[in-house]
Amino acid sequence: MYPLKRNRRLRTNEAIRSLVRETIISPNDFLVPLFVVEGKGVKDEIPSMPNYFRYSLDLLENEVKELWSLGLKSVLLFVKVPDNLKDNKGKEALNPYGLMQRAIKTVKNACPEMLVMTDVALDPYSAYGHDGIIENGIIVNDPTADFLAEMSISHAQAGADFVAPSDMMDGRILTIREALEDKGFINTGIMSYSAKYASAFYGPFRDALDSAPVDMVDIPKDKKTYQMDYANRFEAIRETEMDIDEGADIVMVKPGLCYLDIVREIKNAVDVPVAVYQVSGEYAMLKAAAEKGWLDHDAVMMEQITAIKRAGADVIASYFAKDVAILINK
C-alpha cells in the first residue's frame, strides 16, 4: 500500500526544488572580515588560511571596491599591530592615527556606502595576546570594559558605523553604549559577540594577527576565564539577553558550525538580528580538505553557509563571503 503523500514530488527537478526552497543565500547575508597591516603594496597570504590575505591600506582600497562590486556591502575590520606597539593596556588602540583608525577612513573613502564594523578588543594590541588588561595574573574586567569604551569612541570618531566588541568582559556593552551616547554617537551601532566560546577553532586567526596568548609565567594560558565553556547552552541565552538589555543592536554566536544548536536557540529567544561567525578554523578545515581533493570546495561551502542561515543566522561573518558571492553571481 503506497502512501497518498509522496514527499519526493517536491524534489522531482531543480525547478520545483528551487520553487519550494526555504533558505536562499545572497551577498546581502554577509559581513566580510578583513585583515589590515602596515606597509605599501602588501597582500600577504595567511599560511593557515589559504587564499585569505592581510592587506596594506593601499590594496585594501581595491579589495573593498571589488567586494562592493560583488554585492558585499559590509566589512569587519581587524588590524595586525606591530610588536613594538603592543603593551598590557593596548594604548596604541586609542591612537587617532593608528592602523585601525586609518583603515576605517580608507574604506569609507574608497567606498562611502560600505558599512564598516570594527573589532573592539585588546588582543591585537596586547603584548600578552589577551582580550583584557592583566593585573597580578588576572584579566581584570571593569578597567578593560572602560578601555573598550574609549576604543569604541575612537573608532566612531574615525567613522565606524558599528563597533563589534569581541572580548566577553561582563558589562562592556552598557559601558560602551553609555560612552557612545555621552559623546553624541547615538547612531553608532553595537554588534556584540554575545555567545563567544573558548574555541580551538580560532588558531588560524591568531596566526593572521599574531595574537595568540603568550606562554609566560603569571599570564593565563588560555581565554577560558572570559570566553564561554563550549559545554554550556543556557549560559549562551543568559549572555545574549544581558547584552540586548545593555544595548546591543546585533548579537552574535561564535564559532558557527559546531554551535548551530545555540544559534537556533538564540534565534528563537530574541528579537534582534543574530549574527554567526564562521571562524578561521572552519575556513581552514575546508580549504585543507579541498586542497587534498577530499571534498568538493564549492559544494561543501554552500552546504555549510546554507546550514548556518537555516539555523537562524541573519548575518554571516565568513571568510568564504567573497567565494560565495563570486559563485552565486556566476
Given the residues 86, 223, 254, 309, the one annotated as active site: 254
The reply to whether 101 sits near ligand PBG by the rule CB under 6 A is no
Interface pick for ligand PBG out of 202, 226, 259, 320 (rule CB under 6 A): 202
Whole-angstrom distance, CA of residue 267 vs CA of residue 263: 6
**Which lies closer to ligand PBG via its Cβ, residue 188 or residue 211?**
211
Rounded CA gap, 55 and 58, in Å? Answer: 8
Q: What number of residues does the chain have?
A: 330
- Per CB under 6 A, 169 contacts ligand PBG: no
**Residue 300: Cβ within 10 Å count:** 15
We find the least distance from the C-beta atom of residue 131 to ligand PBG, in angstroms, to be 5
Q: Is 194 in the site for ligand PBG (CB under 6 A)?
A: no
d(CA 50, CA 26): 23
C-alpha to C-alpha distance for 185 and 162, rounded to whole angstroms: 10
Residue (115 or 212) nearer to ligand PBG, CB: 212
**Which three three-digit cell numbers place residue 273?**
538580528
Question: Which lies closer to ligand PBG via its Cβ, residue 131 or residue 265?
Answer: 131
CB of residue 300 vs ligand PBG: minimum separation in angstroms? 18
Clarify whether 254 is annotated catalytic: yes
Choose the binding region for ligand PBG from 14-22, 119-127, 284-292, 322-330 (rule: CB under 6 A).
119-127
| Touching ligand PBG, residues 210-239 (CB under 6 A) | 223
Contact call for residue 131 and ligand PBG (CB under 6 A)? yes
The closest of 313, 233, 228 to 267, measured between CA atoms, is: 313
Alpha helices per DSSP H over the chain: 14-20, 57-69, 99-110, 141-158, 172-182, 203-209, 234-245, 260-269, 280-291, 297-311, 321-329
Is 150 known to sit in a ligand binding site? Answer: no
CB of 250 to ligand PBG, least distance (A): 15
What binding mask, one character per residue, do residues 4-43 give for ligand PBG by CB under 6 A, x or -? ----------------------------------------
Catalytic entry in 80, 108, 183, 196? 196
Q: How far is the CB of 16 from ligand PBG (least distance, A)?
A: 38
Q: Half-sphere exposure (CA, 13 Å, Cβ side) for 126?
A: 23
For residues 123 and 129, give the distance between their C-alpha atoms in angstroms, rounded to a whole number. Answer: 5
Selected from 162, 197, 205, 226, the binder of ligand PBG by CB under 6 A is: 205
| Residue 121 contacts ligand PBG per CB under 6 A | yes
- Which amino acid appears at position 266 of this protein? I
Amino acid at 37: V
CB 262 within 8 A of CB 253: yes
Q: Does 56 bind ligand PBG (CB under 6 A)?
A: no
The piece of 79-87, 109-117, 132-140, 201-209 that touches ligand PBG (CB under 6 A) is 201-209
Residue 251 pairs in a beta bridge with: 192, 274
What whole-number distance in Å separates Cα of residue 31 and Cα of residue 275? 9
Rounded CA separation 55/44 (Å): 7
**Contact flag: residue 166 with ligand PBG (CB under 6 A):** yes
Q: What are phi and psi of 6, to 5 degrees?
A: -115, 105
Shortest distance (Å) from residue 19 CB to ligand PBG: 36
Residue 121 CB, nearest distance to ligand PBG (Å)? 3
In the residue annotation, 196 being an active-site residue is answered as yes
Residue 326 contacts residue 287 (beta carbons within 8 Å): no
The residue ranges that bind ligand PBG (CB under 6 A) are 119, 121, 123, 131, 166-167, 202, 205-206, 223, 279-280
The catalytic residue positions are 196, 254
Q: Which residues are annotated as a binding site for Mg(2+)?
A: 239
